[in-house]
Amino acid sequence: MTERYVVGELDAHAEELPDIPVPEPGTWQAPGELEQHLYELLTRHATTEWANAEAEEEAREDLTLAYLEALAGEVVYVPFHREETAPEPGGRTFQVHDTHVGRLVAVYTRGLLPRPHPHRVFESYTLRDLADHLPADVVGIAVNNRTPCPMLMSADSEERRVWRALHREHWEPDGRADRVVTRRTGAPPLGRLLHGLALGAQMCFVNGEAWNNPDYHGLGLSMEHRRLAEWWGVTGRAEWQETQRRLLAREVTPWYWEFALDARNALAHRYADGRPQAVDATAWREYVEVTLRERAAEVPEQIGADWEEFVAHVLGLAGKVLRYEARFRADGLLTGDAVVRSVAAWDLGRASMMARWGYGARFATRAEMREAVLEASGSARSAHTSWQDFSAGYALGRCLHFDEERFGDWYQEMLTAHRALTTHPDSPWNTVPFHLPAEETGRPGA
């Protein structure tokens, strides 16, 4: 059992399940594209005049099929009491509701999920998963109940066969990745919180998550626990706190990456034009080596047997950075004679996401999530000059960490994300100024 946090005042809320008033037909702005599509399907059906009952019934069947087809390409979410869920679907106790039409289970689409609650959680399912794991005595699912886009669907054995067939037809394992997703409603206003959320835009793009959504559920509680454990070794609150602290302090990235870049920046100021691009590679390496050895001379007792090997590694880093920058320019990730000034973005972008991951996993309170995102925003604006500068720093950090100059998937994902985020009209890089006006950074609660 994972340790729980002390529930904060922003966490103990009554919005455990969606409850959205139904507006006048055709006037609702849905939070996401899927919900908007479902709403338009229902509105079109509701406002059409049918010639007879038979025509209306046939249209109703078409509507149900279209609704199901939309769900088949996405994951949906089922609510559970926290103590009644489990990592494996077979260990979960569904909340089954006895109604006048039979036993039903509630199902929701991602954009309608409420802010995380400490005791009510959601798990993600595909249509095939629902067909396989819903209890046999459940006769139906209530999709998006008490929202403007609800649908009651049969879940008998015949319908479950249809769900499996639609899953085979429409499900693409990577179909929800590599896209700019922007929440239309429920996002924070322009300010530090929104800016801090935008720092995670590259990762949100890769995972197909809404970059401006602070109410993070990811792929459901169990999958978020699994991903945090697999990628970060985080299995509880204390580990999340330490990882979050280290990311915000920029201690996860090796210190000598930033040291090497700082050395080039310092050397550039000795040149007449002050351009790091103008720094000679040999001069850069010499400056790095001299500085390293001067610092080592101050603490000789800390120098180990592998010191010379370490110096050679750091000197080699300069060449690696130059080669990455050359590729970045060729691909448009850097423009003109720009260079990567800092890799702070690599830790700070992940800090923005770690705050949301911890919140979704119930390792962090809402207040802690917000505070971490706000801190990341301030640090990023101190270390970087623009979204372009931030993007290059994030990409270089990721490549130095994973890519090893292969220019493979780790790099290509960042290049694809960069191109999308610099051109998409809904991208935070085109809607959120990197340096916020004073009144927007100083506003209480921003």
pLDDT along the chain (446 residues), means of 10: 59 87 91 97 92 92 97 97 96 96 97 95 98 97 97 97 98 92 96 98 97 97 98 97 98 97 90 70 94 90 90 95 97 94 98 98 95 98 97 98 95 98 97 82 44
C-alpha to C-alpha distances, 16 to 82, 115, 116, 120, 212, nearest whole angstrom = 12, 8, 8, 6, 21
Q: How many domains does the chain have?
A: 3
Q: Find out whether 341 and 394 touch, Cβ atoms under 8 Å.
A: no
What confidence score (pLDDT) does residue 270 get? 81
Residues 355, 243 share a domain:
yes
How much is the pLDDT for 272? 56
Q: Can you read off the two tokens belonging to residue 188?
A: 């924070």
- Is position 185 within any domain? no
Counting other chains too, the contacts that 165-172 makes at CB distance below 8 Å and 24 or more residues apart are 166/68, 166/69, 166/72, 166/127, 167/72, 167/126, 167/127, 167/128, 167/131, 168/128, 169/72, 170/69, 170/72, 170/73, 171/72, 171/73, 171/126, 171/127, 171/128, 172/73
Print burial letters for 127-150: b (CB count within 10 Å at least 16), e (below 16).
bbbbbeebeeebbbbbbbbebbbb
Q: Are residues 221 and 139 in the same domain?
A: no
Q: Tell me the C-alpha to C-alpha distance, in Å, between residue 402 and each of 22, 58, 346.
A: 48, 54, 12
Same domain? 94 vs 214? no
The pLDDT value given to residue 224: 98
Q: What's the domain range around 297?
A: 255-331
Same-domain check for residues 154 and 267: no
Q: What is the pLDDT of residue 228?
A: 98
- Indicate whether 395 and 289 sit together in one domain: no
* Same domain assignment for residues 360 and 237: yes
- pLDDT at position 444, please? 38
**What pTM was computed for the model?**
0.93
Is residue 331 within 8 Å of 395, Cβ to Cβ? no
Evaluate whether residue 115 is within a structural domain: yes
pLDDT tens-digit series, residues 181-235: 999 999 999 999 999 999 999 999 999 999 999 999 999 999 999 999 999 999 9
- The answer on 351 and 302 residing in a single domain is no
Using only C-alpha atoms, the chain has a radius of gyration, in whole angstroms, of 25
Q: What is the pLDDT of residue 442?
A: 47
Tokens of 100: 């006048």
Task: Specify the pLDDT at position 16.
Answer: 92
| pLDDT, position 443 | 45
Predicted pLDDT at 276: 67
Q: Are residues 245 and 350 in the same domain?
A: yes
pLDDT of 5: 59
| Same domain as 218, residue 77 | no
